[in-house]
């Protein structure tokens, strides 16, 4: 290298603000906060229970952050994010950042501490928590900001600055991450008392100065880059949204010169209009795109290009799944981008924050080596990102790539993955119609002839309280500490108790209570072929809560009946109809890590076939009412309208496959949580279940509005008459009132009476009186009619 070259290299190095060569740049959008063994969860819960101090909690948090930065730094990531840690949620952190605390939490101004922060997250003695809702189409939930014309934004949290400084003290330069101002407002809702049509985006002008202030603070601490996450840009927006976005970033760009702005988008293709708006912004130096979910984004970049001087953060490593990256495929994609933009402008990145995947494969001791070689959790994905960046620039780690290629080859050809029989069956059903031949109205008549139920029949959703004793029995059986015989006895005794209780309560259609199940997906996944379970593959759902999704790695089939034994036993104890209880294919799919080597629909069809076998076995065993829960059907809905019809089509088809083969006299129920159904009501009708029980009581009877508006619904329907998520016991009049309201919009002959959801998280001391009141209310109305 000549001196001139060397100086030029140093200049370009300084000008892009990187610590290592810009020519090997790598980046991670965000990282899981919980820790490899859910350390943060336990620290939070112990703090909330007053078993440990604030400084104990802070210590755990600090250690987690530092170990993540060190891990990324030693892996060689050039753009390491900071402020992706959170004690609860990054949107709530933003609410704290800008001081948008709803007045009911009694905040008096100043730096927001744990008190106010956790009150907003979890409620306090005098007021409930802020609303929480799903973060796009993930299973993560954020705290919804409540804004209105009176909201005054003021910088009220130094968390972002503190974290930047904390990393710097370790000698690690980071790129601080904030939820972008546009997405923050777009994800907010009008506060209580504000017009429901109020547009939170109208607050942008008063919000931006706070962003400016924090960004300048970061800059004065030495930050050279800032990452603003604007995932709402991938949604269906209108042109005035782009105008607001443009104005916002023009303002920030001109007010905070000297710090480079990266705008991150993720979770779907970036629409052309959003891409053009974004790349047209003079002061946005870099944009991040999701190239895993955004299959059309590559074409867009190739067609439209990227103005000179701007960088592309190419999200090729999947942040939403646990599969090892196909490094060869990623390299070929990255090379296409490099050919178009030039190598120095492409930064290898993750598709989105790694928050949505498991933390570290290292802690899995029970999964065999072959399967493990197919997986990459967050820690492994960091390594993949660096390996790709290096390979792109001529320093390919041949051994690492060879190992990856071998693992992928074994996955592609493994008989553990591919079962020709299943594939044949699944491909045959794809293009045919599966529908029960008799219309639902006639089926219901046939069923009623056999069942002879009263009007307003009462039922429950499936689970009964899961006592400590019950959990102990299941745990000990799993650990081989008690015999199968003892286990069966204990579960049967529990079923017996639940049956007797329901008969005493005079409920019409009974359930067995699900005492044998830990979780409605895990229970089935453990018995189906093609699934594997992790020990520590936790993913944050909200606050300290995590879920451990099963991994579907292979073709799915059912070696033997899964629920028949228990349902048959339960039915033998009573003359009343006993519901068989299954989880539907779409819910099993949406609550799992799904294979990426075939379309999701294909996997869903395979699960549907397995559940179909179970439905038919239950019917043959004399179970005449079968409930197939599809609690998560709504969750899988794609973000973009243009993709929704296709999803609903195969999802609803999969559901129908499970039960199209039963007799007219077999009554198929389904159950759904959450009540945002108004936009998909026609798909729900198209599921063609005989009866649907559905969440209703937490949503101001939103659900009923759709029927008021004239949607014809011929099947049975049980909108929940009370909220099981709260320990409160509803009184008879309150439930009766609810039923009367439903009767205003629904025909008497279709209406069922049931709680909102399963009772497993409640205590018997809550469940008994609530169900007594529910049955009393139903009987009362029967006599009024």
Would you name the residues annotated as active-site residues? 725
Q: Residue 760: which of ligand GLN, Zn ion, none does it interact with, CB under 5 to 8 A by kind? A: ligand GLN
Q: Measured between alpha carbons, how far is 112 from 116 in angstroms, rounded to an integer?
A: 6
Burial zone of 238 (CB within 10 Å; 0-12 exposed, 13-18 middle, 19+ buried) = exposed
Number of H helices, E strands in the chain: 28, 20
Q: Number of C-alpha atoms within 13 angstroms, CB side, residue 12?
A: 12
- The overall longest dimension of the chain from CA atoms, in Å, is 97
Q: Report the interhelical angle of 39-48 vs 114-122 (nearest 10°).
A: 100
CB of 340 to Zn ion, least distance (A): 48
Q: Number of C-alpha atoms within 13 angstroms, CB side, residue 117?
A: 24
Q: Residue 730: which of ligand GLN, Zn ion, none does it interact with, CB under 5 to 8 A by kind? A: none
Q: Does residue 463 interact with ligand GLN by CB under 6 A? A: yes
CB of 585 to ligand GLN, least distance (A): 15
> By CB under 6 A, what part of segment 422-461 binds ligand GLN?
461
Residue nearest ligand GLN, Cβ-based:
758
> Of residues 33, 345, 656, 671, which one binds ligand GLN by CB under 6 A?
671
Burial zone of 706 (CB within 10 Å; 0-12 exposed, 13-18 middle, 19+ buried) = middle
What phi, psi does 350 have (nearest 5°)? -90, 160
User: Which of 621, 599, 616, 613 lies closest to 557 in space, CA to CA?
Assistant: 613
Q: Which of these segments, 89-97, 404-412, 735-743, 753-761, binds Zn ion (CB under 5 A)?
A: 753-761
Q: Measured between alpha carbons, how far is 356 from 229 in angstroms, rounded to an integer?
A: 15
- Report how far apart, in Å, the C-alpha atoms of 427 and of each of 434, 470, 585, 594, 647 are: 14, 41, 16, 18, 17
Q: Residue 411: which of ligand GLN, Zn ion, none does it interact with, CB under 5 to 8 A by kind? A: none
Strand-by-strand arrangement of the 284-290 sheet: 80-82, 174-179, 225-229, 260-264, 284-290, 311-317, 346-350
**Residue 320: Cβ within 10 Å count:** 25
> Of residues 757, 771, 774, 781, which one binds ligand GLN by CB under 6 A?
757
> By CB under 5 A, what part of segment 617-656 binds Zn ion?
631
Q: Report the interhelical angle of 564-572 vs 484-505 (nearest 10°).
A: 50
CB of 724 to ligand GLN, least distance (A): 9
> Of residues 35, 462, 636, 718, which one binds ligand GLN by CB under 6 A?
462
Nearer to ligand GLN, 345 or 669 (CB): 669
Q: Which of these segments, 116-124, 393-401, 563-571, 665-673, binds Zn ion (CB under 5 A)?
A: 665-673
> Of residues 520, 551, 607, 689, which one binds ligand GLN by CB under 6 A?
520
CB of 680 to ligand GLN, least distance (A): 17
* Six token digits for residue 580: 């068989």
Q: Does residue 760 interact with ligand GLN by CB under 6 A? A: yes
Q: Residue 271: which of ligand GLN, Zn ion, none does it interact with, CB under 5 to 8 A by kind? A: none
Map residues 628-657 to x or -, x wherever contact with ligand GLN holds by CB under 6 A: -x-x--------------------------
Helices (H), 28-145: 39-48, 54-75, 90-97, 114-122
> Of residues 736, 757, 771, 778, which one binds Zn ion by CB under 5 A?
757
Q: Does residue 290 interact with ligand GLN by CB under 6 A? A: no
> Of residues 252, 528, 607, 673, which one binds ligand GLN by CB under 6 A?
673
The H or E element containing residue 407 is: helix 398-413
Pairing state between β 716-719 and 691-694: parallel
Q: Does residue 589 interact with ligand GLN by CB under 6 A? A: no
**Residue 626: Cβ within 10 Å count:** 26
CB of 582 to ligand GLN, least distance (A): 9
Q: Report the interhelical angle of 159-169 vs 90-97 (nearest 10°).
A: 110
Map residues 611-630 to x or -, x wherever contact with ligand GLN holds by CB under 6 A: ------------------x-
Nearer to Zn ion, 282 or 728 (CB): 728
What's 730's DSSP letter? P
CB of 620 to ligand GLN, least distance (A): 22
Q: Does residue 753 interact with ligand GLN by CB under 6 A? A: no
> Of residues 347, 534, 758, 781, which one binds ligand GLN by CB under 6 A?
758
Nearer to Zn ion, 673 or 715 (CB): 673
- Report how far apart, in Å, the C-alpha atoms of 252 and of each of 29, 34, 204, 209, 212 are: 21, 32, 12, 8, 6
> By CB under 6 A, what part of segment 199-218 binds ligand GLN?
none
Nearer to ligand GLN, 631 or 775 (CB): 631
Nearer to Zn ion, 673 or 746 (CB): 673
User: Which of 615, 611, 610 lies closest to 579 in space, CA to CA?
Assistant: 615
> By CB under 5 A, what part of segment 551-570 binds Zn ion?
none
**Which letter, b or e, does each residue of 719-749 get, where b requires 16 or more Cβ atoms within 10 Å of its Cβ?**
bbbbbbeeeebbebeebbebbeebeebbeee
Q: Which of these segments, 113-121, 123-131, 378-386, 753-761, binds ligand GLN (CB under 6 A)?
A: 753-761
User: Which of 657, 653, 650 lies closest to 612 in space, CA to CA?
Assistant: 657
Nearer to ligand GLN, 30 or 758 (CB): 758
Q: Which of these segments, 14-22, 190-198, 463-471, 754-762, binds Zn ion (CB under 5 A)?
A: 754-762
* Six token digits for residue 141: 């939930």
Nearer to ligand GLN, 265 or 670 (CB): 670
Based on C-alpha coordinates, what's the Rg of the chain? 28
> Of residues 187, 259, 263, 673, which one binds Zn ion by CB under 5 A?
673
List contacts with Zn ion (CB under 5 A): 631, 673, 757
Q: What is the contact surface with ligand GLN in residues (CB under 6 A)?
A: 461-463, 514, 520, 581, 629, 631, 671, 673, 757-758, 760
């Amino acid at each position: 290298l000549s001196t001139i070259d060397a100086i030029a290299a140093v200049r370009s190095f300084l000008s892009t603000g990187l610590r290592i060569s810009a020519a090997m740049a790598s980046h991670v959008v965000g990282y899981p906060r919980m820790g490899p063994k859910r350390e943060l969860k336990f620290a939070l819960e112990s703090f909330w229970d007053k078993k440990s101090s604030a400084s104990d909690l802070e210590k755990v948090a600090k250690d987690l952050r530092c170990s993540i930065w060190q891990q990324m730094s030693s892996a060689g990531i050039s753009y390491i994010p900071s402020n992706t840690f959170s004690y609860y949620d990054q949107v709530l952190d933003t609410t704290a950042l800008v001081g948008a605390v709803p007045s009911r939490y009694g905040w008096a101004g100043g730096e927001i501490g744990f008190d106010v922060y956790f009150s907003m997250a979890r409620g306090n003695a005098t007021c409930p928590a802020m609303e929480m809702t799903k973060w796009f189409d993930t299973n993560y939930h954020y705290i919804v900001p409540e804004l209105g014309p009176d909201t005054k934004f003021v910088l009220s949290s130094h968390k972002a600055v503190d974290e930047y400084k904390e990393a710097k003290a370790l000698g690690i330069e980071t790129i601080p991450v904030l939820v972008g101002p546009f997405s923050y407002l777009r994800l907010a809702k009008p506060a209580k008392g504000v017009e429901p049509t109020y547009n939170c985006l109208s607050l942008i002008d008063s919000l931006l100065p706070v962003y400016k202030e924090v960004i300048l603070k970061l800059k004065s601490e030495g930050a050279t880059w800032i990452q603003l996450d604007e995932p709402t840009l991938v949604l269906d927006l209108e042109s005035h949204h782009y105008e607001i976005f443009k104005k916002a970033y023009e303002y920030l760009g001109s007010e905070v010169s000297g710090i480079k702005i990266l705008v991150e988008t993720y979770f779907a293709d970036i629409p052309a209009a959003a891409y053009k708006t974004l790349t047209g912004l003079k002061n946005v130096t870099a944009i991040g795109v999701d190239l895993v979910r955004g299959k059309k984004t590559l074409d867009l970049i190739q067609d439209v290009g990227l103005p000179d001087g701007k960088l592309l953060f190419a999200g090729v490593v999947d942040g939403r799944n646990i599969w090892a990256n196909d490094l060869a495929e990623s390299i070929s994609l990255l090379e296409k981008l490099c050919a178009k933009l030039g190598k120095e402008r492409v930064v290898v990145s993750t598709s989105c924050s790694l928050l949505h995947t498991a933390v570290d494969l290292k802690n899995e001791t029970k999964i065999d080596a072959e399967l493990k070689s197919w997986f990459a959790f967050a820690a492994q994905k960091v390594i993949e990102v660096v390996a790709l960046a290096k390979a792109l620039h001529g320093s390919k780690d041949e051994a690492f790539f060879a190992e990856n290629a071998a693992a992928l080859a074994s996955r592609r050809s493994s008989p553990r993955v591919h079962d020709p029989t299943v594939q044949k069956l699944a491909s045959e059903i794809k293009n045919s119609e599966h529908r029960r031949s008799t219309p639902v109205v006639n089926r219901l008549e046939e069923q009623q002839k056999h069942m002879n139920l009263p009007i307003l029949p009462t039922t429950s959703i499936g689970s009964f309280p899961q006592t400590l004793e019950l959990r102990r029995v299941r745990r000990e059986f799993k650990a081989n500490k008690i015999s199968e015989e003892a286990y069966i006895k204990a579960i049967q005794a529990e079923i017996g108790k639940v049956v007797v209780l329901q008969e005493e309560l005079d409920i019409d259609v009974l359930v067995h209570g699900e005492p044998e199940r830990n979780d409605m997906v895990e229970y089935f996944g453990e018995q189906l072929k093609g699934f594997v379970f992790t020990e520590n593959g936790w993913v944050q759902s909200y606050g300290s809560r995590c879920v451990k999704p099963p991994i579907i790695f292979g073709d799915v089939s059912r070696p033997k009946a899964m629920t028949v034994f228990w349902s048959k036993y339960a039915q033998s104890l009573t003359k009343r109809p006993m519901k068989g209880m299954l989880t539907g294919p779409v819910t099993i799919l949406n609550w799992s890590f799904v294979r990426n080597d075939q379309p999701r629909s294909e996997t869903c069809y395979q699960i549907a076939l397995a559940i179909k076998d179970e439905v038919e076995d239950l019917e043959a065993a004399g179970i005449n009412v079968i409930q197939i829960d599809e609690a998560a059907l709504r969750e899988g809905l794609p973000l973009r309208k243009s993709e929704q019809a296709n999803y609903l089509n195969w999802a609803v088809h999969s559901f129908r496959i499970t039960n199209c083969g039963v007799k007219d006299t077999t009554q198929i129920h389904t159950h759904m949580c959450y009540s945002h159904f108004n936009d998909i009501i026609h798909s729900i009708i198209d599921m063609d279940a005989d009866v649907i029980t559905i969440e209703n009581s937490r949503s101001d009877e939103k659900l009923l509005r759709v029927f008021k508006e004239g949607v014809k619904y011929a099947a049975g329907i049980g909108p929940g008459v009370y909220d099981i998520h709260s320990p409160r016991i509803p009184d008879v009049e309150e439930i009766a009132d609810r039923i009367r309201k439903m009767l205003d919009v629904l025909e008497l002959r279709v209406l069922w009476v049931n709680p909102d959801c399963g009772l497993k998280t409640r205590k018997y001391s809550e469940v008994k009186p609530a169900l007594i009141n529910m049955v009393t209310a139903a009987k009362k109305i029967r006599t009024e009619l």
